[in-house]
Amino acid sequence: MIDPFGRAVSYLRVSVTDRCDFRCVYCMAEDMSFLPKSEVLTLEELDRICGAFVGLGVTKLRLTGGEPLVRKGIMNLIRSLGRHLDSGALKELTLTTNGSQLERYATELYAAGVRRINVSIDTLDPHKFEAITRWGKLDKVLAGLKAAREAGLAVKINCVALKGVNDDEFDRLVAWCGDEGFDLTFIEVMPMGDIGGENRLDQYLPLSLVRSKLSERWTLNEIDYTTGGPARYVEVRETGRRVGFITPLTHNFCESCNRVRLTCTGTLYMCLGQEDAADLRGPVRMTDDDAVLTDHIREAISRKPKGHDFVIDRRSKAAPVPRHMSVTGG
């Protein structure tokens, strides 16, 4: 699949649920209202749509949420998607998780063909972790990371940089990831959805400042490394681990964008930061003919925009993209 700007679309991110057992302050409001079951794709429908994308040339699938591992029966979907790894059509099946369910599922994930996961941890302070996630417990996530490592899963830690919240911990996170054998990616706050009383202007911390501060203690060597996502990586000489920076605001990554995002309702967003979308739930429920589904996918890719419109608006607290990150799946 080639978009209007000559970029090959080979990466599909799939939100399998909008539900989560955390309520992170930069992601969603504490009193979230979730979708009725009838609007959410069944696991079989998700499997069928993913299969159609693989048939069209997608080689990387990432399952997200909400929290993907709270979806009932999720391992059935993951095991089924593993057939595309067995055939060689899919190069990687992975997921992004908050880590709360990893202790339970890590061994099953590896057995199903998952080899690498992203885990969101913004702080190593248990009290601060509970404040950021509202409902999360750090010890449970750390136990999940231990289980993941023992199962053979490679782990990358995702950390959202939050001004005045965790900006005193970045050196500690780099050192901890080095000790644990994890790569680390810092992410700028993204202006998506109403998050209650929080103001993203107060949260926003440019990663240019983060990198500059890190370079005072660590030797950051430029490297030519990519996971197929938007992060730009350096290697920390002192730890031997990689640190990535995802900068949708200070330096967007649109010129190399190879991905689209499917929500749990079957809405396909061709860009995280744009509202134009395509409905795939309709065709998948209307007919068993995959040719119809494939035609809808191709038409959607023909409308993929050149880039996003993310901006932190100092004049307004309103998010330029009204849907929550948990709906789109990151």
Residues annotated in the binding site, as ranges? Answer: 13, 20, 24, 26-27, 62, 66, 96, 120, 156, 190, 254, 257, 259-261, 271
Q: Which residues participate in the annotated binding site for GTP?
A: 13, 62, 96, 156, 259-261
Q: Which residues participate in the annotated binding site for [4Fe-4S] cluster?
A: 20, 24, 27, 254, 257, 271
Ordered strands of the 116-120 beta sheet: 220-222, 232-236, 242-246, 183-187, 154-160, 116-120, 92-97, 60-64, 11-15, 259-262, 267-269, 277-279
- The answer to whether 174 and 184 have CB atoms below 8 angstroms apart is yes
- The answer to whether 64 and 329 have CB atoms below 8 angstroms apart is yes
Q: Is the peptide bond before 307 cis (omega within 30 degrees of 0)?
A: no
Structure tokens at 126: 């248990």
Neighbours of 230 (CB within 10 A): 21
For residue 318, the one-letter residue type is A
Structure tokens at 127: 């009290």
Structure tokens at 98: 């908050």
Q: Which residues participate in the annotated binding site for S-adenosyl-L-methionine?
A: 26, 66, 120, 190
